[in-house]
Structures are given as structure tokens and as C-alpha cells.
Structure 1
């Protein structure tokens, strides 16, 4: 009996030791830093990666209204509908086991983060599943949202999973945005796009902000409260995030629930709005996911949700529940682990999570097509 007890204590002790290797920063306290050498990481090679990020700044205008209009100029009817903010310069932070081993730029500056917002939105859906507000992501959304948003033969087939994986081909208009006008094909014209044959939900992925905003709208009605409040109370407060982040919707995107008028937020900054946040709060969010949804002793997001969110979708092996996956597909970073996953936003905003090496990499305003090389340079320092 004593030997069994001793063995049990050894196992529990080893689990505790593993858990204690992660550092979790307190709110409004200096984030503890460690020299890269403490983790047998080449400091010079890591500094080389940082210099790469600093010298490969996103080439678009720092006036993001200009950058947004230019970036989406092909879209008919595109306009700025929500708040924007002039951005800062390149910034970033690299965590090893939760400790800062490198940082650059102004990591406390609040900037737009564009489609990185989608990974936060996905997590709000995960919290709804964890709290049984949504029974299963395979459920049809029309069984929860019956106001006509998911009416009709096609839209009524759409499940929560289809929306999360961006393969629903939801058809309609929300807040003045038409699904067919969002990132239209390079060939054809308005009539071709409007009257196209719809794809069976779950068969074709299409990155589409109108449909992402439909997900945000549906989740607002499921939670029966504004999503920024949901995120704040159920996650951001618990990980000690600052009080500076904001989640905006379009100026006219109001809905009424239980007699209360509330804003329906966006899943990105395609037409303005989305999450405005600093680099350090992004790193906290990444650290939560690195530790499989656990912050210190509290399980904030279930590990089962994170596992589900990182399952490759059938139409696109590089996409899960609004997280990009480094699987062998069109967006694979050669030479790097297939277990790496990341949030990505317009203008070069990224949260990269590498569980194999206990790394979180946040970089902002990096030329987007340089992200793979940047991560390779970070990993070169590990060797």
C-alpha cells in the first residue's frame, strides 16, 4: 500500500513540476524576463529574428483607413463602417514557458488586430459550448436563431461548425454587407457572383467577413449579452489582461435582446471595427492556449474545445475553428512542426503557438508574406 502511495505521490509531484515550469504574469505587473540562454536558446540568433521583424514592416499605410480601402478595393460597395485607428510600428513579444525572452516595439500600444479577432470569436463559441449554451457544434444554427437569419433551404442546413470553419456558404446580407460582395472571385461580375450556385455547407471554404459577422450575431443572441462583456467576464479578466482592449462593431450594427439594445461586434477589421488590443494582451491569450486553456490553477477554456478547434476542416487542412494550422497544405511552413497553429490578421498581425517548444510568438505589422521566414528564424535560435 505504501509503495502505491509513494508512486502516486511521485506522479503527482511530476505533474506539479511540469505545471510549475510555466510562468503566468500578474495584471499590471512587469512581465518577468529571462535571458534566452536560460533555455539553451541562441541569443544572437534570436536577436537576428527580431531584427528581421523590425526591418520587414508591413508596406501598407500606417493610416489604416487608407490601408483598408486599398486592401479591399476590388470589392463592390466596400466602405468603412466601424472605428479605425492609425497604427504603430513593428512590435512583438516571444515567450518561452511564459517568460519573455525577446520583445520589440511598443508592446503596450493598442492597435487594430483585424482577423486575429476571429480566434477570439471562435473562443467565445467554445465558452458557449463549455457552458452548454450550445449543445454541439454539429447542431444546426436555425435551431437556436429562428429570426430568419438562417431561414431557407440552404441557410437552414448550416451548423455552428460550418460557420467556425468558414465553409457554410451562408447567403444573405447583414449590416449592409452582402456575402457575395466580400472577397469576390477575380473572374466574373456582379451578376455572376449574386446568382452563383451555392455550395453544400461543409464542402468549400471561403474566407468571408460577412459570414463571420453572422456568427458573431448568432453568438450574441445565444449569450443574450454583448460579446465584449462575455469575453471580458469569462476570459480576459481571468488571464489578467489590461483594461485597454476594446471590441467594436459597425456603427449601425445594433440588435435587441430581452428588451435591451446591444451592439453586434465584428470578427475583423475588414470594414473597420474588430478587436483593438496591445501586444501583451495578445501574448496572454496565446499563453492560455499554449497551456491548453488553463491559467495557473483554473481551466478557463476546456482542453476538449481547444482540441476540437485545432482539428483540420475537410475542405481546408490548414484551417480549424478560426485558427490557421501548419498542416501540409497550401499554407504549410516547411521544416516546422505540423502542430504549430496561429491567429492571423490583415497587415501582419499574428499569434503563433508552438506547443512542441513551449513558445508563443506575437508579431505585429510584419509584411504578411514574411511570417514563415520569421518563425523559421526564431526556430533557428532553438538549434
Structure 2
């Protein structure tokens, strides 16, 4: 490891998240919600310190902190839902993402006139404007939500705003993501963690330390079997706990256009769809953040794309440089500088 990369890693350690390491302190997303939505609905656990892992052209070149510690990864679980949608696409369960969800799934909230218009693509791009309650949480809970890398909202978090036609408005909304997860559960007709294990975790060589939990009350019955629906994050608790090293294996699979350990995990076509900018929000794709025009992170190539979780956790995939990077519990205000330092530090290795 060269000195410049050592300095970059030290920079990340020196700029740890302001969140407490204990969940009974200043911890989580729910604490910023207006009541009655400012509470946890599923299990959570204390976090570790800054951790990370970097691979260049498929070779691990650095890791730090506790890279084997499984920590909650918050909204990077959204990206994992996009991977599962890709599994459904590749299996022929979801042949046309632009098809309305109601065409295949009935009775879970897509049957009224407004929601019947909602497509899988819109849910994956966060333009669905789906409205209703998902396991007791209304979509209003995330109306006017501000996110670090999106445009500022025009109202106060949690205030009801007028709905738009599905596909015409972008909003980062965790309730709608949970509705997507529920729809995928009904599409696969088996618990999503089991699909993830067989379709993603095992072929990518993940350890057995990861766990994807649901809210305590988020249960439904499919084909006579009781199944738990999992959220695409940890906004109200639960979600995906996973290590940096396991996340790096998923990032490497995406970097390798869907292949891991010589095995096809996802189609290159699906990964290209994930990386296609949303017209309404060119910094976003299928539940991934894009560096289009280098607007998100000016010091790294425009080809970069990211999974981003509160706290903050980052999965950085850089096809041009053949770089995959995971960093956990980095203060998001310093993410751009950290990524720039890493990119510059690795320049001699790319020659």
C-alpha cells in the first residue's frame, strides 16, 4: 500500500460519522421523523468504527477497521433490492420492467386507479408516486424528504404534498421502497433473504455473517405460508447487516458485469439498466446513485456509481479504473474528498 493510499484511509478514520456507536444515543434516521413515525419497528444493533475494503482490477489491495464485522448498511439494501429485481428479470418473472405492477401482483396496494399505473421501473427509479400504507407506514412519512445527493425538497419533511402522475416526480421515499420489496416477495413467492442467499450471496462467495431482517409486524401469507417482508433500508429499524468484505464481493460482481467466480449472477443488460440515468433525476438509476457529469463527486470519473446508506455507508464502483470500494461510517460531508484522495492515490497503480 503506497503512502498516498495510507493517508486516504487515515482521512476516513479521522472523519467518522457523528452518529453514536450505541443505538440508545444519537443514532438512526427515524429520530428526524415527525411523530408518530419517529420510532423503530424492527431490530437494530450497535455499530463499529470506520471500516473499509478496496479492490483494484479484482485484487484486494487494502482493508481497514473491522472489515469482517456485519453492520447495518441502511439504504445500500435498496441496491440489493435492485439486484433481486434483476434476478427476477433474468429468470423471466419480470420480463418487462415498464409493465404496471398490477399486471402480475394483485391485492397488495396496486389496484386503485392511481396505483394501478405504477410500474416496476418507476418503483426502482423512485418516481412511482405510489400512495398508501405499507405495514402501517404511509407514503406521507417521507414526503419532502431531503437527501444529501438529491435536489432540496420544496416542503417540510412528513407534510402531505399533492400527488403527481406516476413517473413524473422523483422522491426518495422509503415507504415506497418497502412496497417494492413486498411486490418482489409476491413475485418470487419466497422470502427475499432466501432468494438473495441463493442468487447473490452464494455465487459471490459471501460469508454466512450477513442478515436481512424485517419489521416485527411485517408478515404476510403467500401460498399458505407465513413470510416476512424485508425493508430496503433501516429507516425504521431492521434491514441488512453485512460486512465490508462481503459488500466488496457484491461490488466486484457488478464491476465484472454480473459475473462472480466464473459464474453469471446477473445479466449485463440488467446492470446497464441500473446505470441508466432517470430523466427526472440524472444522478439516479435503478436504486443506485450516478456520478453523471461528475456532479455528485467531482474528483472521480463520471462513470462511477454508488450505493449509499445513511450513517454513512458507501459502495463505490468505478468501471473506468476497475475499482470497487466499500467504506462504512464515514461522515458523508467528507465522502467526496475521501474518494478523490483514493482515486489519486491509485493513479500510479493504473499505469
| TM-score, with structure 2 as normaliser | 0.93
Q: Which residue of 1 aligns with 2:127?
A: 167
Q: Which residue of 1 aligns with 2:13?
A: 54
Q: Which residue of 1 aligns with 2:196?
A: 231
Q: Distance in 1 between matches of 2:292 and 2:155?
A: 32
Q: Which residue of 1 aligns with 2:79?
A: 119
Q: 1:338 aligns with which of 302, 306, 321?
A: 302
Q: Distance in 2 between matches of 1:101 and 1:240?
A: 18
Q: How do residues 167-316 of structure 1 correspond to structure 2 at under 5 angstroms?
A: 167-182=127-142, 184=144, 193-194=159-160, 196-316=161-281
Q: 2:282 aligns with which of 317, 327, 333?
A: 317
Q: Which residue of 2 aligns with 1:108?
A: 68
1:77 aligns with 2:42: no
Q: Is the 8 A contact 1:203 1:314 kept in 2?
A: no
Shift of 1:296: 2.8
Q: Distance in 1 between matches of 2:108 and 2:30?
A: 32
Q: Distance in 2 between matches of 1:255 and 1:340?
A: 38
Q: Is the 8 A contact 1:77 1:181 kept in 2?
A: no
Q: Is the 8 A contact 2:141 2:175 kept in 1?
A: no
Q: Is the 8 A contact 1:75 1:183 kept in 2?
A: no
Q: Is the 8 A contact 1:68 1:271 kept in 2?
A: no
Counterparts in 2 of 1:198 and 1:183: CA distance versus 1, 3 Å? closer
Larger mean CA deviation between 257-266 and 331-340 belongs to: 331-340
Shift of 1:68: 4.2
Shift of 1:135: 1.4
- Cα deviations across residues 114-145 of structure 1 (Å, max 9, x unaligned)? 00101111100000000000111100001111
Q: Which residue of 2 aligns with 1:21?
A: none
Query: What SS does the corresponding residue of 2:168 show, helix, strand or coil?
Result: coil
Shift of 1:184: 3.9
Q: Distance in 1 between matches of 2:346 and 2:60?
A: 15
Q: Distance in 2 between matches of 1:69 and 1:261?
A: 29
Query: What SS does the corresponding residue of 2:200 show, helix, strand or coil?
Result: helix
Q: Distance in 2 between matches of 1:220 and 1:60?
A: 32
What is the RMSD computed on CA atoms of the aligned residues?
Answer: 1.7
Q: Is the 8 A contact 1:92 1:361 kept in 2?
A: yes
Q: How do residues 10-159 of structure 1 correspond to structure 2 at under 5 angstroms?
A: 36=1, 43-64=2-23, 66-68=25-27, 72-78=31-37, 79-159=39-119
Counterparts in 2 of 1:98 and 1:200: CA distance versus 1, 3 Å? same
Structure 2 unmatched ranges of 5 or more: 146-152
Q: Distance in 2 between matches of 1:231 and 1:137?
A: 19
Q: Distance in 1 between matches of 2:29 and 2:230?
A: 23
Q: Distance in 1 between matches of 2:202 and 2:214?
A: 21
Counterparts in 2 of 1:158 and 1:333: CA distance versus 1, 3 Å? same
Q: Distance in 2 between matches of 1:305 and 1:70?
A: 30
- Cα deviations across residues 334-383 of structure 1 (Å, max 9, x unaligned)? 13211100100010101100111111110000001211111100011133
Q: Distance in 2 between matches of 1:133 and 1:243?
A: 27
| TM-score, with structure 1 as normaliser | 0.85
- Cα deviations across residues 137-169 of structure 1 (Å, max 9, x unaligned)? 100001111105112221110000000001111
Counterparts in 2 of 1:90 and 1:118: CA distance versus 1, 3 Å? same
Q: Is the 8 A contact 2:251 2:317 kept in 1?
A: yes
Shift of 1:182: 2.0
Q: Distance in 1 between matches of 2:316 and 2:189?
A: 32
Q: Is the 8 A contact 2:144 2:171 kept in 1?
A: no
Larger Rg: 1
Shift of 1:188: 6.0
Larger mean CA deviation between 61-70 and 335-344 belongs to: 61-70
Larger mean CA deviation between 267-276 and 199-208 belongs to: 199-208
